[in-house]
Amino acid sequence: MTDSISILSKVHMVLVLLFVISMLIKTILIFKSNESFDNYRAKTKMSEMLVTILFLVIGIILMVMKDFKFHTLFYLKLGAVVAGIPLGIIGAKKHSKVLITLSFLSFLGAYGLSEAAKKRGAQVEVATDIKTENLGKEIFTANCTVCHGADGKAGVGGASDLSVSTLSTEEAGKVIVGGRNSMPKFSYEGEQLKALTDYLESLKKK
Ligand code: HEC
């Protein structure tokens, strides 16, 4: 799922970039002459339509797949695209340098905003990673260090050395929830249990 999202995102970005480059060429040509602009437009009409439809459709599929949350950057981007299309169409009909330049700038802006949104998304992901890591550490420090020690190696009362444990996260989860001999039961589940077993994995690396 994550893989197909990243592939589709790349295809989407390439299509948008193609479209922006084509807009740039048209903007340059309209400043050169109406004729060269019309020639270019006639030649690229079909492929441009195809590119536009594809990037819009892939954009919508991506929104659904990513379980999309609407944010300000997205509205700005949508606004830029929605403004850019009629500006481009009217600009082309009237051979207006101003409208075509504005249309190009709208799409360029939308492209820039996508890049900015991508960076922001990446930051949010890192932040949640840090949060779960802290959660695992917190739970471990509060409940487990008495017997296992901060590094998992203390072995108080026969407690296993967690830094050399060969259990998978799933098996460790079962020991935590079900207990084993003098290892007490702990009623963790879901996100907390996952954070805790992930934290145990990090103890193994030391
Ligand atoms: C009262 C002391 C005590 C506390 C508190 C405790 N443990 Fe244990 N733990 C043990 C003992 C003793 C064993 C060995 C059990 C056995 O002999 O089968 C063990 C074993 C384990 C194992 C199995 C390791 C392996 O490789 O077999 C895991 C995982 C584990 N503990 C995780 C935790 C976690 C996580 C916590 C905190 C939520 C915790 N323990 C709290 C005493 C404790």
CA of residue 11 relative to chain centroid, distance: 14
CA of 183 to the centre of ligand 1 (A): 5
pLDDT at 103 over 70: yes
Q: What is the pLDDT of residues 114-128, one digit of tens each?
A: 777 777 666 666 666
To the nearest 10°, the Cα dihedral for 87, 92, 98, 104?
A: 60
Task: Give the Cα separation of 156 and 26 in Å (integer).
Answer: 75
HSE of 81, CA atoms in CB hemisphere, 13 A: 17
143 C-beta closer than 6 A to ligand 1: yes
| CB of 142 shorter than 6 A to ligand 1 | no
d(CA 196, CA 198): 5
Residue minimizing CA distance to atom 41 of ligand 1: 144
Give the tens place of pLDDT for each residue, 167-188.
999 999 999 999 999 999 999 9
Q: Is 159 in the pocket of ligand 1 (CB under 6 A)?
A: yes
Q: How do residues 144-164 score in pLDDT, each as one tens digit?
A: 999 999 999 998 889 999 999
